[in-house]
Amino acid sequence: MRCRTNASSLAKALWAMKPNKIFRTFKMEAVGDAIVITNADDACIVCLQVPAEVIEAGTIAPDLQMLRTLLKGIGDRTVELSLYNETRLRITFTAENGTESTYLLPVFDPDSTLANIAEDLKLEEAQLFAHFHSDKHLKLVLNSMKPLLGKHSHFNSFLFIPEDNHIKVLTVRDPIVGIAEVPAEIPEEVASKQEPLPVPRDITQVPIGSIAKLTRDGQSWVVAISEQGYAVFPTIKPDEKQVISAALRLFNREADTSMKASRFFWRELRRTLSMLRASKNRPKYMSSRPKLEFDFERERCYCWVDEGKPTIVSVFGDFPTLAQQNREIPSVMTFDCELIGEALEFISEPDTIDFLVVSDRVSAMRLRFGSWAVVVASLAQGSDLKTAEQEVSDSGSQITVEI
């Protein structure tokens, strides 16, 4: 093998790959007018192409981590790759001072890599699920929603739901779920079924032009296809369809009460929650987790940071204003502060707050911004404010709040 290519382009392609825990190596093949690099680990199989001047075709398997580190230091220069004494990959380039620099990296038997798994998958059998107009837009949505997945989500993956001209991206993690729309071209037979496709969170690491699904020997795969190549991710079919259905009903349900909040309100709320997360000496709360209360009677929002002494989030009439009310809601709704903080990382400044009364025991808050939305269920029951008022009333003292 002997070829020339741009070090920066090759390095960028390699950063989409992870060194395998067992095999440090990957397969690199110089053929035609490109270098085809293939790697497999426990999360995915990736095959990408980098334009190259191929002088002598061939296949080698160098150490992935060592090659990535070396190429990063070379920068935007032309490098020549060749096999030296059958045991080393020789990388040669011209340094800034005009001298020729040469590095030798160990190579392994190409058959000892996991890349041969890719050869067993007949990608021509993959069925197109969606073609995206913008990889940048899709990555923006996925990376914004990734924190919502957490480590304990139902599927630990995104759910792609096909519509006529877009994909709905859904995350399901009790008691917080998020949804967003991404423009896409959807085959008619796929859009008509509207069956969700579980897409592993690691999909954000590779270039995406289209998404396809592939079933081989009972195993389901998600294929990300781009101009540079493809990546194949193992997945499973979700068996909790009722959870997905319930999540979608929360997004489509008519709000009991809709409100609008000013930028000042969201700024103050984010500031209060940020101070809470940054606190090294977390106080003893009246509940196991800090609460956020919407008091509709007093038109105040309270964050319970200190036991028995809440912090007012909204002051001087900056409580969200009523936009529409279809049904009566409880006078006080209580939510988990940390969940609200996660929701605001996804939608930093919602344009609408919808309050939903799901049942006698459960309420929910739906934050919307355009086609993006996130729903947080109210797990904390009861009002700390009313409890604190009752306690001080019994003792004959007055409750104080920080402004």
Q: What is the pLDDT of residues 199-256, one digit of tens each?
A: 988 899 888 999 999 887 778 889 999 988 888 888 877 667 888 888 899 999 999 9
Across the range 351-377, mean pLDDT stands at 91
Domain count, the chain: 3
Q: Is residue 402 part of a domain?
A: no
Q: In angstroms, what CA-CA distances link 220 with 84, 199, 328?
A: 41, 11, 46
Listed in sequence order, the residues at least 6 apart from 88 whose beta carbon sits closer than 8 Å to its beta carbon are 104, 105, 106, 107
Domain enclosing residue 78, as ranges: 2-116
| 245 domain residue, yes or no | no
Residue 403 lies in a domain: no
Instruction: Specify whether 81 is located in the same domain as 164.
Output: no
- For residues 290-314, one letter each, b for 16 or more C-beta atoms within 10 angstroms of the residue's C-beta and e for the rest, the string is bbbbbbbeeebbbbbbeeeebbbbb
Q: Are 93 and 169 members of one domain?
A: no
Check whether 376 has a pLDDT greater than 90: yes
Instruction: Give the residue from 139, 155, 116, 127 showing the smallest Cα distance to 27.
Output: 116
The number of beta carbons lying within 10 Å of the beta carbon of residue 206 is 24
Residues 132 and 110 grouped into a single domain: no
- CB-side neighbour CA atoms (13 Å) of 46: 26
Q: Check whether 270 has a pLDDT greater than 90.
A: no
> Are residues 270 and 313 in contact, defined by beta-carbon separation less than 8 angstroms?
no
Q: Does one domain contain both 91 and 128?
A: no
Residue 368 lies in a domain: yes
Query: In this structure, are strands 78-84 and 88-94 parallel, antiparallel, or unpaired?
Result: antiparallel
Residue 302 shares a structural domain with residue 388: yes
Q: Is position 161 within any domain?
A: yes
204: nearest Cα among 137, 123, 128: 137
Comparing 346 with 392, the larger pLDDT belongs to 346
Query: 350 with 369: CB under 8 angstroms?
Result: yes
Q: Return the bridge partners of 181, or none.
A: 168
- Unique residue bearing structure tokens 């101070």: 275
pLDDT of 99-142, one tens digit each? 899 999 988 877 666 556 666 677 788 899 999 998 999 999 99
- Report how far residue 158's alpha carbon sits from residue 199's, in angstroms, rounded to the nearest whole number: 5
The answer, yes or no, to whether residue 395 has pLDDT greater than 50, is no
Mean pLDDT lowest among 18-27, 36-45, 161-170 = 18-27
Q: Is the pLDDT of residue 290 over 50?
A: yes
Mean pLDDT confidence for 62-66: 89
Listed residues 65, 100, 116: the one ending a domain: 116
pLDDT at 215: 85
Is pLDDT above 60 for 400? no
Instruction: Answer yes or no: do 224 and 90 share one domain.
Output: no
Q: 285: pLDDT confidence band, cut at 50, 70 and 90?
A: very low
Mean pLDDT of the chain: 83
CATH number at residue 100: 3.10.150.10
Is residue 89 left, alpha or beta, with left meaning phi > 0 and alpha meaning psi from -120 to 50? beta
End-to-end CA distance of the chain: give it in Å, rounded.
71
Of 336, 342, 334, nearest to 274 by C-alpha is 342
Whether residues 18 and 53 share a domain: the answer is yes
* Residue ending a domain, choose from 116, 138, 160: 116
| 184 shares its domain with 198 | yes
Residues 6+ apart with CB under 8 A from 92: 79, 80, 82, 100, 101, 102, 103
